[in-house]
Amino acid sequence: MQYLATFLISNIFFIIAMSLLVETKLNFKSKKLYISYFISILFYLINFYQSFMVIRVALNVLVFMFLAYVLFEKGMRESIILGFLITLLAILSEIIYALFTSGFLNGLIVTENYPWIVFINNVIIGIILVVLCSFKETKRFYHFLIKVTRHFGEKQIAISALVIVALSSLFSLILNLASNHLLESYYVPFIGSFLTLICTAILFIYLRKNNQYLDIYEKYDISLRSIQEFEMALDDYRMNTHENKNQLRTIRNMSRNKSVIHYIDGLLDEKTKEDDQLLELIQKIPPGGLRGIIYTKLLLMKNKEILFELSVGRNITNNLLSKVNGQTLTDVCKILGVFLDNSIEAINGLEEKLILIEIYEELDGIVFAITNNYEGYLDVSTLQNPGKTTKGKGHGYGLSLVHHLVSHNTMLEHRNEIIEDNFVQIIKIKV
């Protein structure tokens, strides 16, 4: 009887805790609430009659997933995350209560002399769980998990969650061993706490690093077709600008109003002159993708008041680039995007800011070199390793992307050089 009462009251606490975590008010007039409640009770009863601890914890996760999906109408990915997190918080609630009972109540949590103590223990654990889920920090962590797993598929999330939950269930296993006097019960909560914290830390670090890398990959995940379409729009803009200037000159010649003439002269001499210089500069780059990516970075340098120079060899023509397959050209566009972003960020705090972009032909390939000035010590050998950076914590994932692209494309070679006070990033297409 006490076990049935335990299931009934525990499930109430679980539903309240989930509603607090997802910040959704419970509708007590809804039939779905009561149907979900009693179905989950059936799951708990089935789970009670099997003794394998990992399966028991996994089934608890499935119950929470069911409640998240049906009762709170979350998607499958978010339901998996919510089910995992509630399970983890329930284990943490047991740990907190176990620490309290071991220190002050001499182990009430594992006593068998008073059957209703099990009910009382679960009520207190349920209250602890509700309190934990009401904290802003817990809700932030939940939203963090949603954010960092947005690149993951449902299967990846489910496997990761089940692995961590399986490891965390060792806490419950240790409790069983302690109840059989195989371990000193006083140490049980501390061992369980340590295991659970390690599992959580492993998951946290993995998700965070993986998310940072995938964010960078998504940032530079551009298709060659989209770049070429941008270049076509850029050519149209150049032609329209040229036509607009001709129209302005016509209006100027037809006007006798000195103010209008002076205004048009100002437009032609200042704004259009700057635009013409930049558009004329990138015409040295053959179309096909490279022109578009470099133009966007030149605009960024211009806005940041960075001096730049573009040098394109005479042999760099459409005919030469036509020998390069589309995938390799797309990879080079991504890599150049990383190189140019790195250079812009590296010189952002310097007084002298200069970036040189070179495209030239060698005997065995086409070379793209991005050079920027730098100050201080720079170890080029460490920058070859994925994830390494000179810009501090949270950076270096762009170089990891470069390493990944180069290692999976036999047509590409990458190296870094230091020439006096200049840092050079080089990508080479073998043709």
With a pLDDT cut of 90, the percent of the chain lying above it is 10
Maximum average pLDDT range among 35-49, 51-65, 375-389, 399-413: 399-413
Cβ-based burial of 156 (10 A; exposed 0-12, middle 13-18, buried ≥19): middle
Q: What is the pLDDT of residue 101?
A: 72
CA 94 – CA 81 distance, rounded (Å): 20
The tens digit of pLDDT for each residue in 316-373 reads: 887 787 788 888 888 888 888 889 988 998 888 888 899 999 999 988 889 999 999 9
Q: Answer whether 0.75 is exceeded by the pTM.
A: no
Query: What's the per-residue H, E or C state across 53-71?
Result: HHHHHHHHHHHHHHHHHHH
- Which sequence spans correspond to the domains of the chain? 2-219, 224-430
Residue 286's Cβ-count burial label (10 Å; 0-12, 13-18, 19+) is: middle
Residue 192's pLDDT is 57
- The residue that leads in pLDDT, 37 or 53, is 37
pLDDT of res. 109: 47
Per-residue pLDDT averaged across 138-143, rounded? 89
Instruction: List beta partners, residue 356.
Output: 309, 371
* Mean pLDDT confidence for 98-113: 57
Mean pLDDT of the chain: 75
**What is the CATH number assigned to the segment(s) 224-430?**
3.30.565.10
User: For residue 374, what pLDDT band results from cuts at 50, 70 and 90?
Assistant: confident
Greater confidence (179 vs 132) lies with 132
The better pLDDT of the pair 50, 29 is held by: 29
Q: What is the pLDDT of residues 280-314, one digit of tens each?
A: 777 778 776 788 888 888 888 888 889 989 898 88
